[in-house]
Amino acid sequence: MTKIVDLRCRLFEAPTGPHQVMYANPLRAWDGAPAAEGAFGFHEWMTVELELATGEIGIGNAALTPRLAIQIVSGHLAPLVLGQNSADREALWQRMYRTVVPFGRRGVGMAAVSAVDIALWDAEAKHLGVPVYELLGGLKAAKTQVYASQLYPTDDLEALAAEAKSYVDAGFGVMKQRLLYGPKDGRAGLRRNVELVEAVRQAIGFDVDLAADAYMGWDREYALRMVRMLEPYDLRWLEEPLLPDDIAGYQQVRAASAIPIAAGEHEATPAAFYHLITSGAIDIAQPDVNRVGGLTAGRKVCALAEAAGVPVIPHAGQAHNYHLVSSQPACPLAEYFPVNPQPLVGNEMPHLLFDGEAKAVDGQIELSRVPGLGISIAPRSPVREVPLERP
């Protein structure tokens, strides 16, 4: 038995603070706000470092309300795992989940559980001297396909097209763009969303797969109109057209859409994905390992999806998602955020915060054989550590 002897959290922020970009979101769908709100950016990141009695340190992380997640880890979860056997990941997951159920079975509560769970897998794999993907079943192939995920909305359609072409030139065979306009923008907004997609499709041609993300920014009527208008552009999938609780709406939109419907980044636990999958609400499941409940939950979601014939394309990049995708039969590819000069919404932060994050070459990543997740907190990172307030 290997005891867990320490569990500590740290908080980091982007080197130049928050960056706001315009893209669809549920608040904009409600009041028509012209710009994305700070709640939909990820310029702060929390890490969990879990230390074993034998000296190995596992790293987990989360970007969903990290200051609140740190409080949950420190106040509720640390007492459950300290002194326990690091190999008992399932029992520890159940203890953590059953503790946060009353106040956090989705959102920040499960983000905190996810961060600790990821750190557990990392620490145990390091203790055993193997990569995490070996604990998950081993690699399916030497390399894993990833898609370029950026392409934020802009009035400069030529710049958007040039960005898309740059990803083709870098070897990506799949990419995803963000949409902006929603119900408050009326008929003009419908057409402007189409113009965004049209600009990218014309730049990359039809030999490259293109997906589009509405980030919960539409209602049913708007989504039904958009899927008809977007059909000629042969999208690989349309992501999160509705709020996550509108399962009936997802069923309705999926039934009417020739475009595959993807969702799940704001769901947590295998039970939630069981309902998403068995209700026929989605074509593609998109759990985020640092929101769904960590690798313990993520592996179960993949098993459910595999049995149902539903592909899993996790939300976000990062080492923990890559180890899951690279080992699970249900996962055809993974998300990848090309690094820009400055983080846009923070999804690129892991590249700056961690040494060892996989870098895409010709639209593929190759995981190392370094034990654990293969990452460490970069000692000379441009990401700034924020001192934590002590009670």
Catalytic amino acids? 315
Distance between CA atoms of residues 299 and 129, nearest Å: 21
Which DSSP symbol is given to 389?
Answer: P
Distance between CA atoms of residues 69 and 239, nearest Å: 26
Contacts of residue 16, defined as CB under 8 A and 6 or more positions apart, other chains included, come to 342
Radius of gyration of the chain (CA): 20
Contact between 135 and 169 (Cβ < 8 Å): no
DSSP E strand stretches across the chain: 4-13, 44-52, 57-62, 144-149, 174-178, 209-213, 238-239, 261-263, 284-285, 334-336, 354-355, 364-365, 376-377, 384-386
**Two tokens at 330?**
């249900």
Distance between CA atoms of residues 296 and 298, nearest Å: 6
Contacts of residue 260, defined as CB under 8 A and 6 or more positions apart, other chains included, come to 235, 236, 237, 238, 283, 284
Contacts of residue 302, defined as CB under 8 A and 6 or more positions apart, other chains included, come to 312, 324, 328, 329, 330, 331
Contact between 353 and 347 (Cβ < 8 Å): no
**Two tokens at 72?**
């949950």
* Residue 178: closest CA among 351, 383, 41, 16: 41
Contact between 338 and 167 (Cβ < 8 Å): yes
